[in-house]
Structure 1
Amino acid sequence: MNIREIEYITIPISNQEVSRRFYHEVFDLPMITLPNGDMGADLRKMFLDFKVVDQVTPISFGLIAKDSMADIKAHLINYFVTIVDEPTEKTENRRNVNSITILDPDKNRIEVNEFR
């Protein structure tokens, strides 16, 4: 077997409208209806599948942004997004990355990365 990409990530949410607004407004992601009927976000090669559940058990995942970290942080502050870890520089898989960690409305932990 030769796996090359992730097709989708299922994100547990409590309120579809709140999550749709957050991911669309904060990350400027187009919203779509997935074949299973769930609302989702289109990331070109993959999808975020928003699954409404009775009790959210938060998950963690990472996103890659093309903006500078200064612009990313300013944007997040403008949208009153909860920042749990300030920008930090590190090396991942032989690449330099600057990352900031935030929470969505359901406390899902999102690392936003700027690769250099």
Structure 2
Amino acid sequence: MNIREIEYITIPVSNLEISLRFYHEVFDLQIVDLPNGDKGADLRKMFLDFRQVDNVSNPISFGLIAKDSMEAIKAHLINYFVDIVDEPSTKTEVRRKVNSITILDPDKNRIEVNEFK
């Protein structure tokens, strides 16, 4: 088996409308109707699949790659009053250095926003 990409990630949300607004406004993602009936966000090569649940008791973690500078990313997040849980830091990943900031969505799903150098 030769797998190279992720098709989708399912994100548990307690209030679909609040989450759709968050991901659209904060990340400027296009919201789309998915074939399974869920709403999703289009990331060109993959989708975020928003699945409404009664209670998000097990939030997930995932990472996104941004094309902006970390300074611009942090300013944008502050402007939208997003919960920053880990301030920007530089680390070395498998192949290269990355600047990273970690935030929470309205359901406490943990999102690492990365700027690769």
Percent identity reads 82
- Three-state SS of the structure 1 residue aligned to 2:78 is helix
1:102 and 2:103 correspond? yes
Shift of 1:54: 1.2
Shift of 1:55: 1.6
CA RMSD of aligned residues (A): 0.4
Once the two structures are superposed, the pairs formed by residues 37-116 of structure 1 within 5 Å of their partners are 37-56=37-56, 57-116=58-117
Distance 1:106 1:71 in 2: 24
1:31 and 2:31 correspond? yes
**Structure 1 unmatched runs, 5+:** none
- How many pairs are equivalent? 116
Distance 1:106 1:55 in 2: 9
Shift of 1:94: 2.3
**CA-to-aligned-CA distance 1:62-90 (integer Å, 9 cap, x gap):** 00000000000000000000000000000
Distance 1:112 1:24 in 2: 15
**Structure 2 unmatched runs, 5+:** none
* Segments of 4+ moved more than 4 angstroms: none
